[in-house]
């Protein structure tokens, strides 16, 4: 399907959904856009940030000339805010018909089925290796992903798109 046609379909779908919402009906979702989204929870980075700021304050207080000033308070507040942002900004993996999408530190990243070389699955760990670039790793320990559900959906995705699927 061409891009202009996809845009027309998306625009018409949005218009139909607005009308259905006004009338109180359920929204329409085309069959081609069905995707599964698995959400994790990031807690390691926020804990490390809070430990870092605690260590910073502890070491600063050991200095006899230490004086708690406004700049130190702002720094502590910024680190705590960053830890809260990392905690609330939940990592996810979306598996569509012919793509895989996730959130990285620099933003949302998307891989088409043709750009994926292999999918490796281990207990508690899923790895997607693209043709170019570094592999994407999804871990139950680090980001609290439901790796069992992800692995079954990725196995189906690999069969549909002819991608190598390795299970250890």
Q: How far apart are CA 53 and CA 78, in angstroms?
A: 10
Q: Helix 44-61 crosses helix 70-88 at what angle (to 10 degrees)?
A: 170
Dump pLDDT digits (tens) for 54-88.
999 999 889 888 888 999 999 999 999 999 999 99
- What pLDDT, on the 0 to 100 scale, is given for residue 33? 58
- What pLDDT, on the 0 to 100 scale, is given for residue 168? 85
pTM (2 decimals)?
0.71
H-type helices in the chain, by residue range? 3-23, 44-61, 70-88, 140-143, 147-161
Nearest Cα neighbor of 145 from 47, 42, 46 is 42
DSSP state of 41: -
Cβ atoms of 110 and 100 within 8 Å: the answer is yes
- What pLDDT, on the 0 to 100 scale, is given for residue 21? 84
CATH of span 92-167: 2.30.29
Ranges in the chain, pLDDT < 50 = none
């Amino acid at each position: 399907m061409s891009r202009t046609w996809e845009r027309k379909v998306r625009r018409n779908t949005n218009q139909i959904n607005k009308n259905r919402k006004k009338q109180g009906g359920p929204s329409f979702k085309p069959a081609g856009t069905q995707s599964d989204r698995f959400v994790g929870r990031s807690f390691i980075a926020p804990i490390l940030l809070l430990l870092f700021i605690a260590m910073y304050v502890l070491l600063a207080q050991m200095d006899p000339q230490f004086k708690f000033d406004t700049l130190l308070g702002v720094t502590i507040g910024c680190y705590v805010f960053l830890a809260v942002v990392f905690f609330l900004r939940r990592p996810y993996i979306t598996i569509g018909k012919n793509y895989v999408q996730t959130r990285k530190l620099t933003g949302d990243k998307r891989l088409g089925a043709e750009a994926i070389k292999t999918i490796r699955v281990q207990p508690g760990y899923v790895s997607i290796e693209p043709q170019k670039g570094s592999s994407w790793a999804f871990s139950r320990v680090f980001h609290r992903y439901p790796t069992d559900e992800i692995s079954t959906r990725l196995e189906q995705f690999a069969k549909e798109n002819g991608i190598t699927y390795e299970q250890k």
